Homo-oligomer: A and B are copies of this chain.
């Protein structure tokens, strides 16, 4: 075996026409007689025939690859989502191309353009939308081009683009968390609110505030600290809280890894979690499940989101953007055991 057998070779060996060989192997609308099909398949096997995807793509206008754009593959939320996408893709005989923006949200449009050039069949766009309007415009323009070319697009985040979207109910989750923490007796809260321009972070803050308000607790502006969305951001924000607002009894970090940093910061200030201060996160990262104390958090099943996104992007649907909401569930751990009466 050297270069590659082509469909033409297969047809010749099988003694049929090119078209018949194509139909037998690919299975088009037309059917092929059992005997001929058998002959073709046998010839293909003998010749170790491999279809040339590029040629097929040229005809069809798209390939069997779905592109996945995400902010950071190392983040367990997104690697979980990628895992779900890949698993579902395998079931459908699709390949998955992944592009990481590494949190440079402006890169999303570039990667959409890249997938368009590749003639990928569909794109899944994961990760929170931001408040950056000009960027969103460029992204939407690229998406429109991709769709004009016959590609399908699904976003997993907020409903901010004119595409099918799986919306994660950050608000609802944060609201329930707030209520639960209030029930546990906490009253003086601080929120490590993450980046100002990240909608997921904003939604979690907003939901949390709403939940507290429902319990008659107001969240003072001074008790909201912005920072990066990662472990170090949580550390710094918590340090600031401890410096400036020493009297809080519960801290909500809008992301598990920020919560991790917050706990580390508390420790390095000589405070124990949860004895001196309670901490809750958001995301329920698997690798943190064995942490001690077990972090109170809000579970998002990102693998499931990935699977749903792939299914959605494959289901035709021509009648305007669809929205599917996915809830999340509060998990109480030992990091918020309930407040003992103070003093």
Contacts and interface: CB of A to CB of B under 8 A. Distances in A.
A290 B230 CA distance: 13
Nearest to A110: B90
A29 interface: no
Contacts of A3: 148-149
Residue among A54, A65, A87 with max Cβ neighbours from chain B (10 Å): A54
A89 to B, nearest CB: 9
B114 A86 contact: no
A237 interface: no
Determine how many copies of this chain the complex contains.
2
A86 B99 contact: yes
Contacts of A83: 72-74, 100
B65 A54 contact: no
A148 B2 contact: yes
A114 to B, nearest CB: 6
A17 interface: no
Contact of A86 (B53, B73, B264): B73
B116 A149 contact: no
B118 A76 contact: no
Interface residues of A, number: 57
Given A55-B58, A96-B98, A98-B96, A50 B117 contact: yes
A74 B82 CA distance: 8
Interface in A1-54: 1-4, 48, 50-54
A300 B74 CA distance: 15
A295 to B, nearest CB: 11
A64 to B, nearest CB: 8
Given A95-B97, A98-B96, A292 B292 contact: yes
A76 B114 contact: no
A74 B65 contact: no
A76 B287 contact: yes
Interface in A65-93: 65, 72-74, 76, 79-80, 82-83, 86-87, 90
B50 A116 contact: yes
A305 B313 CA distance: 33
Nearest to A72: B83
Contacts of A114: 95
A98 B119 CA distance: 17
A35 B335 CA distance: 68
Interface stretch (A155-163, A168-176, A255-263): A255-263
A227 interface: no
A117 B57 CA distance: 12
A117 B74 contact: no
A298 to B, nearest CB: 18
B76 A74 contact: yes
A213 interface: no
Given A74-B80, A90-B99, 4 more contacts: A73-B86, A74-B286, A76-B79, A285-B287
10 contacts: A2-B148, A54-B54, A55-B58, A65-B118, A73-B83, A95-B114, A95-B118, A96-B98, A287-B288, A292-B292
10 cross-chain pairs, A with B, having the tightest CB-CB distances, nearest first: A54-B57, A79-B79, A287-B287, A54-B58, A97-B97, A54-B54, A86-B100, A264-B290, A260-B290, A98-B98
